[in-house]
């Protein structure tokens, strides 16, 4: 599925290069918490993996504030990608 917000500068990358089932689980969980989470396909080593993003935000300041909130509330639930 294509990025639903092409050209938008202010999206938060929650996790990148994960299998589709893991990406779906993360996005669904974030959506349940009120975030506009979506998936973007990424080619890695000849295979498609998935990037989970949240956004769009109108300004960098809004995106930074949302990312800080997500880190504070959910960091342990969504560890950084490898």
Per-residue pLDDT tens digits for 5-44: 555 689 999 888 789 999 999 999 999 999 999 999 999 8
Q: What is the pLDDT of residue 72?
A: 86
Name the phi and psi angles at 23, rounded to 5: -65, -45
C-alpha pair distances (Å), 71 with each of 1, 5, 10, 31, 82: 26, 23, 17, 16, 17
Question: Dihedral angle at the C-alpha atoms of 75, 5, 7, 1, nearest 10 degrees?
Answer: 90
Per-residue pLDDT tens digits for 42-66: 998 899 999 999 999 999 999 999 9
Q: What is the pLDDT of residue 73?
A: 83
Judge whether residue 3 has pLDDT over 90.
no
Judge whether residue 1 has pLDDT over 90.
no
């Amino acid at each position: 599925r294509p990025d639903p917000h092409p050209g938008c500068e202010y999206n938060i990358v929650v996790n990148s290069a994960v299998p589709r089932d893991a990406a779906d689980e993360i996005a669904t969980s974030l959506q349940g918490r009120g975030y506009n989470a979506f998936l973007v396909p990424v080619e890695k080593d000849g295979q498609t993996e998935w990037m989970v993003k949240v956004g769009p935000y109108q300004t960098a300041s809004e995106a930074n504030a949302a990312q800080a909130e997500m880190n504070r509330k959910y960091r342990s639930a969504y560890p950084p990608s490898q």
